[in-house]
Structure 1
Amino acid sequence: GFADGTLRLGHLEVKASVLTHDAVPDGLTKLDNGDSTDGQAVYADTAGGQVRKVAVEAVLGSPQQIAPAGTAVVAADYRLGGTEERPEKSFVTVDATGIGRLSRTESRTNMMTGEVTETLTSSVLPGLPTGVKVTTVIMNTAADMVLVADNTGTLYRYDTHNFNAPVLAETLKPLPEGVTLTGIRFLIGEQSIVLTGSDGSVDVYFRLPRDNAKSSDGYTLIRAHQLEKHRGAVVAIDASQRGKMFVTADDTGEVWLRHSTSEQTLLKLKPADINGHYQAVALSPRENEIFAVTDGGQVYNWDIEADHPETTLKTIFGKVWYEGYPEPTYTWQSSSGTDAFEPKLSLVPLIFGTIKATVYSLLFAIPIALGAAIYTSEFVHPSVRAVVKPVMEMMASLPSVVLGFIAALILAPVVETWIAAVIISIAVVPTAWLISAFLWQLLPGPVALRYGGWPKFALMFAVLFLAANLSIAISPLFERLFFAGNFKAWANGSVGSSLAFTTLLILPAVVGILYFVGERVLPSQIYEIMRSPNRTIAGVADFVRWIITLMVGGIISWVLAGLLIGVGLDPRGGIVDTFVQRNTMIVGFAMGFAVIPIIYTIAEDALNSVPEHLRGASLGCGATQWQTAIRVILPTAMSGVFAAIMVGMGRAVGETMIVVMAAGNTPVMDWNIFNGLRALSANIAVELPEAVKGGTLYRMLFLAALSLFAITFIVNTLAEIVRQKFRKRAAQL
């Protein structure tokens, strides 16, 4: 801007030419071994005995009359936009009288003559106080936001979506009373705004939507990062062209290199012979040099190296406020499609995903594996065990990539189609097995013994088949009663109540507690009936007890579910939420097939290694096989059983291909079983091939691998300590 009220846009042109030695001016000053200068160009000898001249020339456009003639333009900023055929130049100016103007020139080129016609339109920025002394004005690239700062520290934010009718959206004082704004600068991407103050403060603000915003557009400027203060007033600032680094200078002569996201001060520089105050600082495009110019005419240049500025312990393991996010979060997003992207390298979502996958897979695997180990060790005929155990062990040889393929392409679509049947089968299948077990007790003793081998084992699979078909048959009715006819909409919280589902969810725990309490409070006469030598009487009594316990448990569960929902503990929004096809439940099913054989084999060997005299003594004292297995055999073999669970956990923690193929690979942090996840191992497998060697992502992936090792090491160490305690206790038996 000029004192006559005009504004001229210009650009720098680098012009290179080749001269003979005779055309080189005299009195050149040597810059280094090969270059010399006359103050206006740089001259360098070439191989052909000639001289290359490189000069920088400022090219100014024609003047644009913005303010009234004779009224100086005191602050201005501009952006280029439009298309190649119709380029646009948007600029904002403030004149000496405090009037702000928003202007735009549209250029049109005559295709026949090549003549360029420019059309200028202007509008006044409303709301600026009369006679305001503006210090800084900036505009974003989209030309839809303008920031104006005055000498009192007040910041005016304008919404300029409608270029012909700009609106003062917000007025605020971001700094304490008496502190003035000395600088405003956008970082790359123009979502972060750096504000510097006369007290040395350096803060980064985001423009974010807020429900309680007092602005006209629903947005407000919020301080997201508060960086270390300078010892003096900040007088100059410049931002990186490729990242979130920027450089600031104060009136004491210090120049600091900073990073916005990590809130680090990377370098503190101060020349020993500074003369005057800094007029400007600049960070080179490659982020390897800093330039500073003083009002005394001195130029300072520092070669710098600031690799991986976005990584600190806080950004890796703590919450960070990223651009565009409403609050600080744990986020992993290593790359994007533009240079303006802000890398998000928190390992917390990956660690959480690893734990989530492990927990849900073990919830599926441990009951099945331990139940199978106890059954084949204590109840089945040795001939059946001789077949079942090798088959189970062969399951461990299934490649995880095959399990992941089946889970992602076959199991996931089937579960999505029959989700109600899958959920109800979790209750129907165990209930069917329990009913068949009670009915088996009603058989005469000789018949039960005669068919206790393969026929009984085959009957279990027949019951499983019937229960699965029953689940499919009743799933439409179940979905209407429990999920208002649409499970996905119900899971989102859009329809229905969660009372029935919560009742079903807590019913197993309530029934288990009732059984535990019942064994201690029921009259001895009832137990005498259940211990009757007559199998039929004992079986009927046990079945009646189970039915009564189930009914009482259902009533208690229904009451507790209502109370939990009443105090806000709705499973929706927690362990149940939005349904996606590739989710944690699919991972649990698939990973369970990989973990079950390991837990089963080790636990079954531990149970079989219990001395026979303990088993015989228990049975000789009148205990049933079940009582012997639960109260004698299992406690004695607990060290081996615990080791089996820990080895299975280690297998689940380190699993890669199943998680990559079946989990959706989304680094989210919630316990929703119907949502995806991203585990440490899967993240390493997915991102390592595209990581630049030695780069920040490359190093972060190695840190992820180290974190995975640390998790397994700590878990296995604690497991060994607990296992040794169980072993010492068992040795005393």
Structure 2
Amino acid sequence: MRFSDVLSEGVITVGGIGTIVAVCLVALVLVMEVIPLFRGATVDLLSERDVPWQAGQIVHFELNEYQTMGWLLTRDGTLQTIRLTPPSEEGKTTGSLAGGASFEVVQETKLASGTEITSISTSTGKPDIVLGFADGSVRTGELRFETTFIDPIEIKDWFTEQAGGISSAKLKSPGDTAIFKDGVVQLTSQGQYRFQKLVPTLDDPIEVSDTPIALVDHLPQESNASGLGAKEKVFVVLTGDKQLKLGVVTEKKSLLSGKVKRSSQVYDLPVADRLKEPAFVLIAGLGNNVLAADADGHLARFSIRDYDDIQLAEEVDLLPDSEAKLTKCDWILGRETLFCGDSEGNCSGWFQIRLEDRQDDTFADRESSDGFALVKTHQFPAGPAAVTSFGASSRSRMFLVGYESGTCSLFHMTTEKHVADIEVPGDEPVQLARIAPRDDGLLLESGGKIAHYALSPGFPDITLTALFFPVWYEGYAEPLNMWQSSSSKIEDELKFSLFPLISGTFKATFYSMLFGAPLALLAAIYTSEFATRRTRTVVKPAVEMMASLPSVVLGFVAALVFAPIVEQIIPACLASVFVVPFMVLLGGFLWQLLPHRLSLRIQPYRLLFLLPMLLAGIYFAYLLGPLVESWLFLGDIKYWLVHPEEGTGLGGWLLILLPASALAMLAFDGYGLGGYWRSRVARLPRSLFSLIGFVKFLVLVLATLLLAIAVGSLFDFVGWDPRGSYIGEYDQRNSMIVGFVMGFAVIPIIYTIADDALSTVPAHLRSASLGCGATPWQTTLRIVIPTAMSGLFSALMIGLGRVTGETMIVLMAGGNTPIEDWNLFNGFRTLSTNIAIELPEAVQGSSHYRVLFLSALVLFLLTFLINTVAEVVRLYFRRRAVQL
């Protein structure tokens, strides 16, 4: 016996400690995955090189995604493909530094002859370009890096044939590069030889003006555009005579011959009164607007939806109340958000919103002919000097700003995060700023030298503000909390706000506990205190068997069976919430009207007596459904929900005011009317007493209904409509369905623990209460429940934890929509559901992946906090029970 006790104690101790250790390890794993989200960026100088061009000669310079080569375009039309030699190789060209890294010319091509390139337009992350020339012509084309993998034997043979060529021994270690034919070959970490070369294509010139093209911008072509039908290339130019012109190039490909027929059309843009000489011209990413801005910050937006009727949509001051000059104005990735930098070092982000979507009158004074307005949505800390250069990332919303003081700052547009500061050697103005295509490097030109940096930006798209507070995303009229972790294009903003998921978790918990907790507790009270032993031996195992139903089965039934049925009888379901309890209570009062001898004789079967009342309540609710819909919801509740301008909001108010009115009347009866009434009718005969009680019940029900109608009518009269708050547009898979099914799933847990807690109340407490003349209900309410309160509270908290972590029911029946409203008829997405859906598809180590672990950590902390508070409350109730 002693051995058994010691063994049991040891097993329990080890199990308890093991559970604590396991929970701590889970928390540690979550924390370790989340910590990198909040680490800062690192920037390391790799090399410093002389610029491979002369002052005023360069038109544009770009890197490839592996930072091994790039292309350089000069004003005379010369295109050079260059290799970035690593610092370990000695410089071999004129621009090299002793013992440092340099640029090595791989190939040189003449793109244009007989005229000078005066302007160029490229697009972040796209290979297409548009060139403007001194003779007033424009040429469209592409400069694309083409990647292939070369057989090692071909590499060896080619190097062997090249007299005086670079030995293949140079390609010994992963990352080594060498010139191969007309490109650069690199040995990858997988032992493959990756070959890249620059493939330029340029279309025929398009005559636009008789004067040089001063500025040009274009709308990039989608890489996945269909080959059928006509394609358009759109560009805008500023000519030497200060005219803004829009060019449209149409390409039609013959299905038979495969030949491409090109035609072009040039349109003049109207004059803007406030716009002086434009310093920047830009086309928006959707191809519906042209922007032109001068050095004073005056911007004109032209609507080009109809080429034959181009209109001035609005004029905006980018530098209000400032004497600064606009020095940089360009798009970030996606061409929806406009970056503006000025001579005082200020940086801001602007994009277009629809004015009618604003909930306030902030922009009521904006004059716009098309209903849209360009507004400042992001403001960044001022820099140390004037902005002299700008570079946008081709895969994220990061951008690089160079200042006249020789410093650079790296920002993230969406989150407004200050990612890093970079000091450029020499303290000269930064003339060129580029972010490598993979966001893993920086290239900065200052004082005739180019500094090459290795970049590890961390996770600039994740901040505490972006996770838990509203962020102003592109295209939205105001800051919002949103979750959208995937998109069809890399240009789209990803949204990682946890607030809708936390809101959905609380929403699921609230509606599920609202349905399940009262039923479970009342059932436990009945079986523990009022039911016969025989009834209890049947009811309790039956309820506990409900816990064996898998969540996936309940979710499947809810989504495919309950949801479609409820959608057809929404008013009846809403009416049943009130009619069914009324009929059950009515049955209780009718029981009291029975003769005393009869009620004593059929006392063991009183549950069966209430069953017809329950069925009658369901039937009456079904019959009342169409009447309620006709009376309160314009005959169609779905139509009523989405048209708040029609009908009244009384029906919506009754949903919340009827329970509140019932509680108010219950309090009035318990603390006011009840004491007064009992003192006067206590000595009446039982039959008369029951009859008066029945009449009082009907009067209180009528008063409850009238009070709810009166208050609801008052709210509706003053213009408070509940539509758009806790009720709104109806979705088939919604909170009401989840609340019912998940409440059904949590009832067995709460019921079992609550019943056990009530059963452990000492019998002598009941006997003492009954001996003093209290009724069984008074004994239960004032003695048993307070004594068992710690156990009842534990049952609720365990049920709460079950609901909070539930996944499959919410996934299948909750609509799976990450929104933050409390609409009873709309869906939601919880933290646990979001993890189950998206973690298998998340790229390991990505922002999305780590935010999902952060979601798990938030859920862990929420449950830990709730359980801690619950334990404190439970101990308080336990001390109170001991005092009894």
* TM-score, normalising length: structure 1: 0.91
- Report the alpha carbon displacement of residue 201 of structure 1 after superposing the two structures with TM: 1.4
- Report the alpha carbon displacement of residue 130 of structure 1 after superposing the two structures with TM: 10
The 8 Å contact of residues 275 and 299 in structure 2, kept in 1 or not, is answered as no
Of residues 638, 649, 656 in structure 1, which corresponds to 2:807?
656
- For residue 74 of structure 1, what is the aligned residue in structure 2? 214
Of residues 576, 595, 598 in structure 2, which corresponds to 1:447?
598
Q: Deviations over 1:310-330 (max 9, x none)?
A: 111111111111111111111
Q: Deviations over 1:643-664 (max 9, x none)?
A: 1111111111111111011101
Of residues 412, 417, 424 in structure 2, which corresponds to 1:259?
412
Q: Deviations over 1:331-383 (max 9, x none)?
A: 11110111112111111111110000001111101211111111112212122
- 2:854 corresponds to which letter in structure 1? L
CA distance in 1, matches of 2:194, 2:864: 64
Q: Deviations over 1:76-111 (max 9, x none)?
A: 122355974755432211123321111223345688
Q: Does 1:458 align with 2:611?
A: no
- For residue 2 of structure 1, what is the aligned residue in structure 2? 133
Label 1:83 to 1:91 Cα distance change in 2 as closer, same or farther (>3 A): farther
- Report the alpha carbon displacement of residue 67 of structure 1 after superposing the two structures with TM: 2.2
Q: Once structures 1 and 2 are overlaid, which stretch shifts more, 75-84 or 371-380? A: 75-84
Q: Deviations over 1:623-679 (max 9, x none)?
A: 221111112221221111111111111111111111011101101111111110101
The 8 Å contact of residues 583 and 673 in structure 1, kept in 2 or not, is answered as yes
CA distance in 1, matches of 2:561, 2:771: 51
3-state SS of the aligned residue for 1:396? helix
Q: Does 1:283 align with 2:435?
A: yes
Q: Deviations over 1:133-160 (max 9, x none)?
A: 3222122355322111212221121111
The 8 Å contact of residues 242 and 339 in structure 1, kept in 2 or not, is answered as yes
CA distance in 2, matches of 1:476, 1:209: 40
CA distance in 2, matches of 1:420, 1:725: 43
Label 1:599 to 1:277 Cα distance change in 2 as closer, same or farther (>3 A): same
Q: Percent identity?
A: 39
- For residue 283 of structure 2, what is the aligned residue in structure 1? 139
- For residue 272 of structure 1, what is the aligned residue in structure 2? 425
- 2:792 corresponds to which letter in structure 1? V
Q: Once structures 1 and 2 are overlaid, which stretch shifts more, 88-97 or 125-134? A: 125-134
3-state SS of the aligned residue for 1:164? helix
3-state SS of the aligned residue for 2:307? coil
Listed as ranges, the matches of 1:450-599 within 5 Å are 450-453=601-604, 455-494=605-644, 495-500=646-651, 502-503=653-654, 505-522=656-673, 526-528=677-679, 530-532=681-683, 534-599=685-750
Label 1:135 to 1:651 Cα distance change in 2 as closer, same or farther (>3 A): same
CA distance in 2, matches of 1:503, 1:109: 64
The 8 Å contact of residues 529 and 538 in structure 1, kept in 2 or not, is answered as no
The 8 Å contact of residues 529 and 541 in structure 1, kept in 2 or not, is answered as no
- For residue 231 of structure 1, what is the aligned residue in structure 2? 384
Q: Does 1:65 align with 2:218?
A: no
Q: How many residues align?
A: 722
- For residue 183 of structure 1, what is the aligned residue in structure 2? 328
The 8 Å contact of residues 97 and 132 in structure 1, kept in 2 or not, is answered as no
Label 1:237 to 1:443 Cα distance change in 2 as closer, same or farther (>3 A): same
CA distance in 2, matches of 1:382, 1:43: 87
- 1:618 corresponds to which letter in structure 2? S
Q: Does 1:698 align with 2:849?
A: yes
- For residue 89 of structure 1, what is the aligned residue in structure 2? 233
Q: Once structures 1 and 2 are overlaid, which stretch shifts more, 529-538 or 591-600? A: 529-538
- Report the alpha carbon displacement of residue 23 of structure 1 after superposing the two structures with TM: 6.1
Label 1:446 to 1:692 Cα distance change in 2 as closer, same or farther (>3 A): same
CA distance in 2, matches of 1:157, 1:600: 66
Q: CA RMSD in A?
A: 3.1
- 1:160 corresponds to which letter in structure 2? I
* TM-score, normalising length: structure 2: 0.76
Q: Once structures 1 and 2 are overlaid, which stretch shifts more, 431-440 or 511-520? A: 511-520
- Report the alpha carbon displacement of residue 568 of structure 1 after superposing the two structures with TM: 4.0
- Report the alpha carbon displacement of residue 198 of structure 1 after superposing the two structures with TM: 1.4
- Report the alpha carbon displacement of residue 578 of structure 1 after superposing the two structures with TM: 1.0
- For residue 640 of structure 1, what is the aligned residue in structure 2? 791
The 8 Å contact of residues 275 and 293 in structure 2, kept in 1 or not, is answered as no
CA distance in 1, matches of 2:261, 2:780: 94
Q: Deviations over 1:661-700 (max 9, x none)?
A: 1101101111111110101111111111111122211111
- For residue 242 of structure 1, what is the aligned residue in structure 2? 395
- Report the alpha carbon displacement of residue 132 of structure 1 after superposing the two structures with TM: 3.6
Q: Deviations over 1:394-443 (max 9, x none)?
A: 21222111111111111111111111111111111111111111111122
Of residues 428, 439, 445 in structure 2, which corresponds to 1:293?
445
- Report the alpha carbon displacement of residue 126 of structure 1 after superposing the two structures with TM: 1.2
Listed as ranges, the matches of 1:97-108 within 5 Å are 97-107=241-251
- Report the alpha carbon displacement of residue 14 of structure 1 after superposing the two structures with TM: 6.5
Label 1:565 to 1:31 Cα distance change in 2 as closer, same or farther (>3 A): farther
Of residues 384, 406, 412 in structure 1, which corresponds to 2:535?
384
- For residue 315 of structure 1, what is the aligned residue in structure 2? 466
Label 1:92 to 1:402 Cα distance change in 2 as closer, same or farther (>3 A): same
CA distance in 1, matches of 2:177, 2:871: 70
Label 1:164 to 1:175 Cα distance change in 2 as closer, same or farther (>3 A): same
CA distance in 2, matches of 1:411, 1:114: 57
- For residue 268 of structure 2, what is the aligned residue in structure 1? 124
CA distance in 1, matches of 2:838, 2:255: 49
Label 1:148 to 1:480 Cα distance change in 2 as closer, same or farther (>3 A): same
Q: Does 1:363 align with 2:505?
A: no
Listed as ranges, the matches of 1:654-693 within 5 Å are 654-693=805-844
The 8 Å contact of residues 19 and 53 in structure 1, kept in 2 or not, is answered as no
- 1:242 corresponds to which letter in structure 2? R
CA distance in 2, matches of 1:23, 1:501: 84
CA distance in 2, matches of 1:647, 1:565: 40
- 2:245 corresponds to which letter in structure 1? R
CA distance in 2, matches of 1:485, 1:682: 36
Label 1:627 to 1:91 Cα distance change in 2 as closer, same or farther (>3 A): same
The 8 Å contact of residues 171 and 186 in structure 2, kept in 1 or not, is answered as no
Listed as ranges, the matches of 1:406-445 within 5 Å are 406-445=557-596
- Report the alpha carbon displacement of residue 550 of structure 1 after superposing the two structures with TM: 2.1
CA distance in 2, matches of 1:694, 1:717: 32
CA distance in 1, matches of 2:292, 2:666: 72
- For residue 219 of structure 1, what is the aligned residue in structure 2? 372
- For residue 205 of structure 1, what is the aligned residue in structure 2? 350
Label 1:533 to 1:598 Cα distance change in 2 as closer, same or farther (>3 A): farther
3-state SS of the aligned residue for 1:321? coil
Q: Once structures 1 and 2 are overlaid, which stretch shifts more, 425-434 or 499-508? A: 499-508
CA distance in 2, matches of 1:701, 1:53: 37
Q: Deviations over 1:525-563 (max 9, x none)?
A: 731454347321221121122122222333332222222
The 8 Å contact of residues 12 and 59 in structure 1, kept in 2 or not, is answered as yes
CA distance in 1, matches of 2:761, 2:843: 54
CA distance in 1, matches of 2:706, 2:235: 72
- Report the alpha carbon displacement of residue 386 of structure 1 after superposing the two structures with TM: 1.8
Label 1:464 to 1:339 Cα distance change in 2 as closer, same or farther (>3 A): same
CA distance in 2, matches of 1:600, 1:479: 35
Q: Deviations over 1:443-466 (max 9, x none)?
A: 22232122111x222222222122
3-state SS of the aligned residue for 1:406? helix
The 8 Å contact of residues 380 and 452 in structure 1, kept in 2 or not, is answered as no
Which runs of 5 or more structure 2 residues have no equivalent in the other structure? Answer: 1-131, 149-154, 188-192, 357-363
The 8 Å contact of residues 254 and 260 in structure 2, kept in 1 or not, is answered as yes
- 2:726 corresponds to which letter in structure 1? I
